[in-house]
Structure 1
Amino acid sequence: MTSNEKKCPNCGHIFKPGETYCPNCDLFVPFDEQKNLSNDTITNSNEPASYKNDTPSEPSPSIPTFKHRNRTSVEETPATEEEIVEKQSEMEEATEKPIIEEHSEIETISPVEVETFEEIDEPVEEQPQTRVTDSSTPPSNESPKKNNKSKILVGIIVLLIVFGGGYVYNSQKKQNELETTLKLTTSAEDAIQNLYMKNQGEVFLKKGISQSDITSAEDKVKELKGTEQYDKLNERMQQVVKTFTRLTAINEAFKKPVIEGNQLINDAYVKDDTKLTLEAIDPEENGFDKLYNEAIKDATEQKAAIKTFKTTLEKLYRDDKVVSEPSKQVYNDAVKQLADIKDPELKAEFQKILDDVSKVIDEQEKKAEAARKEEEEKQAAAEKNTQQSQNNNNTNTAQNGSSFTPSTNGGRWGTRQDATIDLSDPAWAWNPGVQEKVISEVIKRGYVVDGGYTLVPKFIENGVGFYDLYATKNSKLFPNSKPEEFPIYVVTINDKTGWFKGNGPN
């Protein structure tokens, strides 16, 4: 190579006469080192010279300097087939990076147009110049390799920045999601724990728990739906709901809560107007199940006591008033059954009704007693009159004409008995109407009841027959006698006059 040869510093191309730029690179233009003028610009005979050097100069050096040619657009120069293959290879290597595989969800980046900037090897002052080209050598249209490589490199860098930023963004997003899940999990666990009594495990719900507490905890658990933690937390939440449902049901059966925390309230009383349909838990799995079953047992016993009393009370009190003739015995049974009722308020209410019944019974007994006394007085007067009449008619008299009172031979009435009873003796014949009158009277007095008595002939004295009257069933006089105690002696009766006498004060 001679000293006058001009060589492209980029690719080594030796400029031919008339070439003002490298046909391979299309980037460099030779300039005179001293005067910054093109050294190999040849004035075409058909074109005017770009400039005229009027000043004599020294011979130029053998190696010229070069300056980057300005390009209007890199995209306008088509690339060679070799450059296209090289570009595709480099792009395939870039797409095989793991970072791109990990973040395939990032949108495809549109191609980035990269402009190359003008570079000057040495700062020189540019002079106006006219480019003279050889008409026989047209400018090359091939795309410069260095420019294409620069564009590809810049594109790859941009992709790495974008995908790298996406990776960082995605990692940060996952970290944020994990932190959010952790916070939600902690919040849900705390919400479930707060539904139970402290230091008791997940067995007894806290005192005063409400539906709003349950709903709030459920909402916190639902926020974790779709995560790994949801199933376990939801299972625990459903157990809370199950326990709360049972707790609510048993507490609503009482006038105030019967179960509070881990305690069974002894002074809780069952509602009288509520049907008890709850069933015991079998088998019992924990302490709450045991309390629940004890509460159901208590409620059942209270309901049974109330029902038994009401059944008895209906015999004494109907249609908001005392029946016309309440039984003293039924009243006594009701008083005993009232003692089995635990609820003091309900017991006081029933006691008022029994007090009304008692007043009616007392009034009835007073009236009955007054009537009995009146009747006894009438009977006594009638007996006296009858006795006098019998005495006047020599009835019930001795043979010497003196009146008499039957003798008991020193014993109690009802103990005298003749050795032989001859029913054909006229002494055993009742005077007309006497027997009916006596029986009606003793029934009225309550000594015997209709169909609950018997008459037994016992002895004859002074031609008069005397019968003993026996009770065979309970009566007012014998209300509590047992069946094996009957028959029971009542009075001795004169079958001629109707006079009768017994061992009682009357």
Structure 2
Amino acid sequence: MTSNEKKCPNCGHVFKPGETYCPNCDLFVPFDEQKNLPNDTITNSNEPTSYKNDTPSEPSPSIPTFKHRNRTSVEETPATEEEIVETQSDMEEATEKPIIEELSEIETISPVEVETFKESDEPVEEQPQTRVTDSPTPPSNEPPKKSNKNKILVGIIVLLIVFGGGYVYNSQKKQNELETTLKLTTSAEDAIQNLYMKNQGEVFLKKGISQSDITSAEDKVKELKGTEQYDKLNERMQQAVKTFTRLTAINEAFKKPVIEGNQLINDAYVKDDTKLTLEAIDPEENGFDKLYNDTIKEATEQKTAIKTFKTTLEKLYRDDKVVSEPSKQVYNEAVKQLADIKDPELKAEFQKILDDVSKIIDEQEKKAEAARKEEEEKQAAAAKAEAEKNTQQSQNNNNTNTAQNGSSFTPSTNGGRWGTRQDATIDLSDPAWAWNPGVQEKVISEVIKRGYVVDGGYTLVPKFIENGVGFYDLYATKNSKLFPNSKPEEFPIYVVTINDKTGWFKGNGPN
């Protein structure tokens, strides 16, 4: 190596005249040290006079100090654009690390670097430095190039500040959003739970729940729309709405709410007898479904009882008044049906109507009974008059009873009334009980003709014997002209006493 050559201590590159940096290792000799280099390392013979120093320089080491252009004595490599982007990405992915901590992780700038960053753009006057060389080397007029590391580091710091500030903002924003979502979720959860009875699960809605409660809860759930929590909360909300709709519908069928919480109110009554359009829940999935179905059954039974009674009542009461001839049988049927109606107010209203019907029926029965008695009396009087007339005629024709010796007589009575005399012993083998031929048939034909009895509605009873003659009492066993309105329990009824030998007969009517 010639005396005017200088080599890179790292790779051995021979520096060309005016070449300050090793193209391979990027090493350089600082100006402040080049003036102390020995002649065999660097030559500044061609350096301008203004850079020469007339003051003798202090002795310097024979080997120059080489430094990386973009590094300090601490080993560093310049940050590339990819590294900067990667640094930015890492910063954005951080979730908890504060920006101050990230800034603290930046490489500490050594005092040497700081001194390098502070190099002035103005040419630095260097003391002339000479060294012995075989041939003069032109001096270098190029001042040392300013390092780019300060720019890169400043850029990184700026990026960290910008993106770090953005991260801090976004992180705070996300934190605020999470807190807001948590509050809204808690509020919606509480709103849904408050729709139901405590310690019953989400099955039975609370007592006294209203539409405003449902609307308020729905609004709170809607505030979470677009979040992960919305779907599940909305599903629970919709179930509550479905239950509330059913609860409202069945309660509307009654005069007051029939379902309160998890109980069926016993003294709740349907509003009217219109057909219930609600359908039972099938299959039953929980306690509310069963309670709802039981309520539908109760409503149906009450409505059916009311409708059945009204149908019967129409036969007795129309146009706000009792019909002209209400039936006693229909009335009794209506009384039984009224007992099936549970609503006491409605039952009292219907009972008042039935009382009016009952009064009319009682009046009709009284009138009918009076008319019947009057008719019976008329018929009895007419029959009696007819009987008396016929009896008188018969007596005129057969008033003389001839005994076996030819004498006539009239049998005695018991106390003056016919039909009351009775022998203690009746011996039917006695000839006195034998009818003379044709006498019985003649007498029976006559009394039937007069209306005393009817064919097949009479009986003959042997009563007593006097003067060898048997006397029979004739009794009516069915209604006849003489007894048109007599009741079955009143029969048999005495009519006349008959002589079985002559056909003479006599009763208690006038002769």
TM interval, shorter chain, is 0.5 to 0.7
Tell me how far apart the structure 2 counterparts of residues 386 and 274 of structure 1 sit (CA, whole Å).
72
Q: Equivalent residue of 1:295, what SS?
A: helix
Larger CA deviation: 40-49 vs 157-166: 40-49
Tell me how far apart the structure 2 counterparts of residues 499 and 53 of structure 1 sit (CA, whole Å).
199
> How big is each residue's C-alpha offset from its partner over 1:149-191, in whole Å with a ceiling of 9 and x where there is no partner?
5444333321221011111221222222111111111111111
Tell me how far apart the structure 1 counterparts of residues 144 and 510 of structure 2 sit (CA, whole Å).
152
Tell me how far apart the structure 2 counterparts of residues 441 and 108 of structure 1 sit (CA, whole Å).
158
> How big is each residue's C-alpha offset from its partner over 1:296-336, in whole Å with a ceiling of 9 and x where there is no partner?
11111111111111111111111211111000111111111
> How big is each residue's C-alpha offset from its partner over 1:264-313, in whole Å with a ceiling of 9 and x where there is no partner?
11111111154311122222221111111111111111111111111111
Larger CA deviation: 223-232 vs 416-425: 416-425
Tell me how far apart the structure 1 counterparts of residues 500 and 135 of structure 2 sit (CA, whole Å).
180
Tell me how far apart the structure 2 counterparts of residues 113 and 474 of structure 1 sit (CA, whole Å).
150
Tell me how far apart the structure 1 counterparts of residues 225 and 59 of structure 2 sit (CA, whole Å).
88
Tell me how far apart the structure 1 counterparts of residues 288 and 491 of structure 2 sit (CA, whole Å).
58
Larger CA deviation: 60-69 vs 286-295: 60-69
Q: 1:369 to 1:78 in 2, by over 3 A?
A: closer
How much does 1:262 deviate?
Answer: 0.8
Q: Please say if residues 37 and 64 of structure 2, whose CA atoms lie closer than 8 Å, have aligned partners that are also in contact.
A: no
Q: 1:396 to 1:161 in 2, by over 3 A?
A: farther
Q: Please say if residues 456 and 469 of structure 1, whose CA atoms lie closer than 8 Å, have aligned partners that are also in contact.
A: yes
> How big is each residue's C-alpha offset from its partner over 1:45-94, in whole Å with a ceiling of 9 and x where there is no partner?
99999999999999999999999999999999999999999999999999
Q: 1:125 to 1:90 in 2, by over 3 A?
A: farther
Q: 1:50 to 1:303 in 2, by over 3 A?
A: same
Tell me how far apart the structure 2 counterparts of residues 103 and 414 of structure 1 sit (CA, whole Å).
146
Q: Please say if residues 4 and 42 of structure 2, whose CA atoms lie closer than 8 Å, have aligned partners that are also in contact.
A: no
Tell me how far apart the structure 1 counterparts of residues 457 and 63 of structure 2 sit (CA, whole Å).
162
Q: Equivalent residue of 1:457, what SS?
A: strand
Q: 1:29 to 1:363 in 2, by over 3 A?
A: same
Q: Please say if residues 214 and 241 of structure 1, whose CA atoms lie closer than 8 Å, have aligned partners that are also in contact.
A: yes
Q: Equivalent residue of 2:91, what SS?
A: helix
How much does 1:493 deviate?
Answer: 17
Tell me how far apart the structure 2 counterparts of residues 487 and 104 of structure 1 sit (CA, whole Å).
136
Q: Equivalent residue of 1:469, what SS?
A: strand
Q: 1:43 to 1:240 in 2, by over 3 A?
A: closer
Partner in structure 2 of residue 465 of structure 1 = 470
Larger CA deviation: 116-125 vs 75-84: 75-84
Tell me how far apart the structure 2 counterparts of residues 437 and 454 of structure 1 sit (CA, whole Å).
15
Q: Please say if residues 6 and 64 of structure 1, whose CA atoms lie closer than 8 Å, have aligned partners that are also in contact.
A: no
Q: Please say if residues 326 and 360 of structure 2, whose CA atoms lie closer than 8 Å, have aligned partners that are also in contact.
A: yes
Larger CA deviation: 164-173 vs 126-135: 126-135
Tell me how far apart the structure 1 counterparts of residues 15 and 162 of structure 2 sit (CA, whole Å).
43
Tell me how far apart the structure 2 counterparts of residues 35 and 361 of structure 1 sit (CA, whole Å).
147
Q: 1:228 to 1:87 in 2, by over 3 A?
A: closer
Q: Please say if residues 31 and 66 of structure 1, whose CA atoms lie closer than 8 Å, have aligned partners that are also in contact.
A: no
How much does 1:217 deviate?
Answer: 0.8
Q: 1:104 to 1:336 in 2, by over 3 A?
A: farther
> How big is each residue's C-alpha offset from its partner over 1:417-448, in whole Å with a ceiling of 9 and x where there is no partner?
99999999999999999999999999999999
Tell me how far apart the structure 1 counterparts of residues 173 and 219 of structure 2 sit (CA, whole Å).
24
Q: Equivalent residue of 1:65, what SS?
A: coil
Q: 1:205 to 1:11 in 2, by over 3 A?
A: same
Q: 1:474 to 1:140 in 2, by over 3 A?
A: farther
Tell me how far apart the structure 1 counterparts of residues 454 and 493 of structure 2 sit (CA, whole Å).
13
Q: Provide runs of 4+ in structure 1 moved above 2 Å.
A: 1-156, 380-506
Q: 1:360 to 1:33 in 2, by over 3 A?
A: closer
Q: TM-score, normalised by structure 1?
A: 0.54
Q: Please say if residues 50 and 131 of structure 1, whose CA atoms lie closer than 8 Å, have aligned partners that are also in contact.
A: no
Q: 1:263 to 1:385 in 2, by over 3 A?
A: farther
How much does 1:202 deviate?
Answer: 1.2
Q: 1:101 to 1:87 in 2, by over 3 A?
A: closer
How much does 1:260 deviate?
Answer: 0.5
Q: 1:221 to 1:159 in 2, by over 3 A?
A: same
Structure 1 gap ranges (5+): none
How much does 1:109 deviate?
Answer: 25
Q: Please say if residues 30 and 38 of structure 1, whose CA atoms lie closer than 8 Å, have aligned partners that are also in contact.
A: no
Tell me how far apart the structure 1 counterparts of residues 502 and 318 of structure 2 sit (CA, whole Å).
47
Q: Equivalent residue of 1:76, what SS?
A: coil
What's the RMSD between the two structures over aligned residues? 10.9
How much does 1:463 deviate?
Answer: 23
Larger CA deviation: 330-339 vs 59-68: 59-68
Q: Which has the higher contact order (CA 8 A, sep 6+)?
A: 2
Tell me how far apart the structure 2 counterparts of residues 499 and 138 of structure 1 sit (CA, whole Å).
197
Tell me how far apart the structure 2 counterparts of residues 106 and 505 of structure 1 sit (CA, whole Å).
153
Q: 1:474 to 1:387 in 2, by over 3 A?
A: closer
Q: 1:340 to 1:263 in 2, by over 3 A?
A: same
Partner in structure 2 of residue 185 of structure 1 = 185
How much does 1:499 deviate?
Answer: 18
Larger CA deviation: 118-127 vs 148-157: 118-127
Partner in structure 2 of residue 449 of structure 1 = 454
Q: 1:78 to 1:163 in 2, by over 3 A?
A: closer
The match for 1:440 among 417, 421, 445 is 445
Q: Please say if residues 493 and 501 of structure 1, whose CA atoms lie closer than 8 Å, have aligned partners that are also in contact.
A: yes
Q: Equivalent residue of 2:474, what SS?
A: strand
Q: 1:58 to 1:328 in 2, by over 3 A?
A: closer
Q: 1:60 to 1:232 in 2, by over 3 A?
A: closer
Q: 1:44 to 1:109 in 2, by over 3 A?
A: closer
Partner in structure 1 of residue 408 of structure 2 = 403
Q: Please say if residues 255 and 271 of structure 1, whose CA atoms lie closer than 8 Å, have aligned partners that are also in contact.
A: yes
Larger CA deviation: 432-441 vs 153-162: 432-441
Tell me how far apart the structure 1 counterparts of residues 358 and 438 of structure 2 sit (CA, whole Å).
40
Q: Please say if residues 452 and 473 of structure 1, whose CA atoms lie closer than 8 Å, have aligned partners that are also in contact.
A: yes
How much does 1:4 deviate?
Answer: 20
Q: 1:190 to 1:504 in 2, by over 3 A?
A: farther
How much does 1:10 deviate?
Answer: 22
Q: Equivalent residue of 1:64, what SS?
A: coil
Query: Larger Cα Rg: Structure 1 or Structure 2?
Result: 2
Q: 1:411 to 1:47 in 2, by over 3 A?
A: farther
Q: 1:485 to 1:276 in 2, by over 3 A?
A: farther
Tell me how far apart the structure 2 counterparts of residues 41 and 104 of structure 1 sit (CA, whole Å).
41
Partner in structure 1 of residue 159 of structure 2 = 159
Larger CA deviation: 392-401 vs 327-336: 392-401
Q: Please say if residues 459 and 475 of structure 2, whose CA atoms lie closer than 8 Å, have aligned partners that are also in contact.
A: yes
Q: Please say if residues 77 and 143 of structure 1, whose CA atoms lie closer than 8 Å, have aligned partners that are also in contact.
A: no
Q: Please say if residues 315 and 323 of structure 1, whose CA atoms lie closer than 8 Å, have aligned partners that are also in contact.
A: yes
Q: Equivalent residue of 1:187, what SS?
A: helix
